[in-house]
Amino acid sequence: MIEEGSKRGKAMVEKRQLFMEMRAQNFDVIRLSTYRTACKLRFVQKRCNLHLVDVWNMIEAFRDNGLNTLDHNAEINVSRLETILSSIYYQLNKRLPTTHQINVEQSIGLLLNFMVATYDSESHGKLTVFSMKSMLSTMCGGKIVDKLRYIFSQISDSSGVMMFAKFDQFLREVLKLPTAVFEGPSFGYTEHSVRTCFPQQKIMLNTFLDVLMADPPPQCLVWLPLMHRLANVENVFHPVECSYCRSESMMGFRYRCQQCHGYQLCQSCFWRGHANGPHSNQHQMKEHSSWKSPAKKLSHAISKSLGCVPIGEPPHPVFPEQAERPQELTHTVQPKPVANNMNDTMLMSSGTPTPTKSVLESPSRLDEEHRLIARYAARLAAEAGNSTQQCPPSDLSFNFDANKQQRQLIAELENKNREILQEIQRLRLEHEQASQPTPEKAQQNPTLLTELRLLRHRKDELERRMSALQESRRELMVQLEGLMRLLKSQSGGSPHSSPSHGAGCSMPMPIRSTSAGSTPTHTPQDCLAGVGGDVLEAFAQGVPRNLRNDLLVAADSITNTMSSLVKELHSVDDGGLEEETNMRNGGDRGTVRLQKH
């Protein structure tokens, strides 16, 4: 008794676990019921690992467990349902790599409790075969067109026409899924649901797919294609800033307002009804499930205008209306399930899917096929020989001319296609050059604005540094000019002195400026105003130069000036030396010290 009570308590905890985790995701803040329902069912699908099971693997699991031989209204108990789910998940782990193995026991427990809560609300402990097939084929992974083809095979007769009673039964079962995630008021079953979906009297496969995959689909099933679109855009990245939350990137859907220019919202803000500025929730929004750069948009528009891209692509391939007859498989050895190959080995027919190709074929059948192929090839060769013998020379020449014209036409079309591709490439390059960032475009891009601010700050810093260096250079040049004047006055008018050295001799020694760090508002020539002689000549250029060239010119000027000073000192006569000795006795020690150096 104690063990039975603990098992029941554990079952109740597991039954509530999935719903408690779903409530923790806070999906109820989504204001649109369609997105809210699709998000909840997508969460259940991923939490139970059903998104890893392809629809073809699910169909194979139905066949392996003998469900295709049971009537749709037949009931199976919970223990057999658990066995079926175990086979599905254990086969899944065999297909997955060792690093991506799932917890089979946990997945079985979550899915089993969800199915019982959904389809056995009265606790009978049994589910119908059709309920299980409808739920698992809807909630598993794979393409929606493949799921709908399988569902149509379950609700159509032997002639490939949909039975309205079966479709009504399918709606009853599949609409229990939104009810299980507390969305029954929005997507519950009504008696008029069938006629609102199909007002026609005769529904074939392609019509069935057209209606359920239309945009928009029937209101009662609008959440089904949305759940598949959610799965396709979960990892889609949009390098666009959200106009409400200011997030610099979006994941999933992207929504663009059709009235407010440049107003875009991420899926979280749009689902919650956020809006700011002139935008309103009443504005029409366009949903984008992918991101295309401006260059790709231009090339796609050009290709579309030139007819390279089909404009109206059908939402699904067109299938034959009549169901093909099942093959006789009495003496065929059944192969083991092969992962991800069901699309090639299964064919939709009335009732249950039947294999069209057997993986294992007998050697006698292969030999028979080889003989048929050889016989057909020989007959084609004989017909070709007879036709060449019967054709007169005029016909042969006519065929040759026709082939020649066709080859010329093909060559012309290839040349034209090559020219069109070159034109597309040229337009793409022009567009990329035109889309380079400019100051006007940078105002709309915060990243470019930040880079421009950093560049301006760096420019100001470099200008302040240049101003300080030029001020220091000016002071050095003025000091050098003063020393040159002192030497000239001591030499007493030496015949070797240069006449330009006397320019600006009355200029006093400058005091170091305290405003060297300010932003310069003058040219490099302005900072040498008042400097005479060779120093001014060295920097008196007609056009402004950068700091590096100015420093090089200053170094050359200092070198030339020091060379002239050395020559003048060597040319001083003995009288000049005695005069300098007298001046040294008079107290001008600094000058003699400079002379010795």
For 552-595, give the secondary structure using H, E and C: HHHHHHHHHHHHHHHHHHHCCCHHHHHHHHHHHHCCCHHHHHHH
CA distance 179 to 37: 9
Span 342-378, pLDDT tens digits: 444 343 444 444 444 443 444 455 556 666 666 767 7
**Which sign does the torsion angle of CA 153, 156, 161, 165 carry?**
negative
Query: At 509, which amino acid appears?
Result: M
Distance of CA 254 to the CA centre of its chain: 12
Q: Are 242 and 269 in contact (CB under 8 A)?
A: yes
Q: What are the beta bridge partners of residue 75?
A: 128
Q: Are 187 and 349 in contact (CB under 8 A)?
A: no
Residue 328 has a pLDDT of 44
Residue 402 has a pLDDT of 67
Span 320-350, pLDDT tens digits: 665 544 444 444 444 444 444 444 434 344 4
* 400 has pLDDT over 50: yes
SS3 at position 288: strand
SS3 at position 21: helix
Residue 421 has a pLDDT of 86
Q: Are 291 and 241 in contact (CB under 8 A)?
A: no
* 205 has pLDDT over 60: yes
Span 150-182, pLDDT tens digits: 999 999 998 899 999 999 999 999 999 999 999
Percent with pLDDT over 70 in the chain: 61
Residue 445: how many CB atoms within 10 A of its CB? Answer: 13
Residue 508 has a pLDDT of 42
Residue 463 has a pLDDT of 84
- DSSP-assigned letters across all residues of 238-292: E----TTT--S-EES-EEEESSSTT-EEEHHHHHTT---TT--TTS-EEEESS--
Residue 129 has a pLDDT of 95
pTM: predicted TM-score of the whole model, two decimal places: 0.52
* 110 has pLDDT over 90: yes
Query: At 277, which amino acid appears?
Result: G
Percent with pLDDT over 90 in the chain: 33
| Higher-pLDDT residue of 520, 413 | 413
pLDDT class for 406, splitting at 50, 70, 90?
confident
* 497 has pLDDT over 60: no
| Higher-pLDDT residue of 553, 541 | 553
Section 205-211 average pLDDT: 92
Q: Among 36-45, 96-105, 466-475, name the one with the lowest average pLDDT.
A: 466-475
Q: Quote the mean pLDDT of the chain.
A: 74
**Which residue has 């490439």 as its token pair?**
425
Taking every pair of Cα atoms in the chain, the longest distance, rounded to a whole number of angstroms, is 136
Share in percent of the chain as helix, strand, coil (round to 5)? 60, 5, 35
pLDDT class for 552, splitting at 50, 70, 90?
low
pLDDT class for 410, splitting at 50, 70, 90?
confident
The alpha-helical segments, DSSP class H, found in 435-445 are 439-442
* 141 has pLDDT over 60: yes
| Higher-pLDDT residue of 242, 249 | 242
* 441 has pLDDT over 80: no
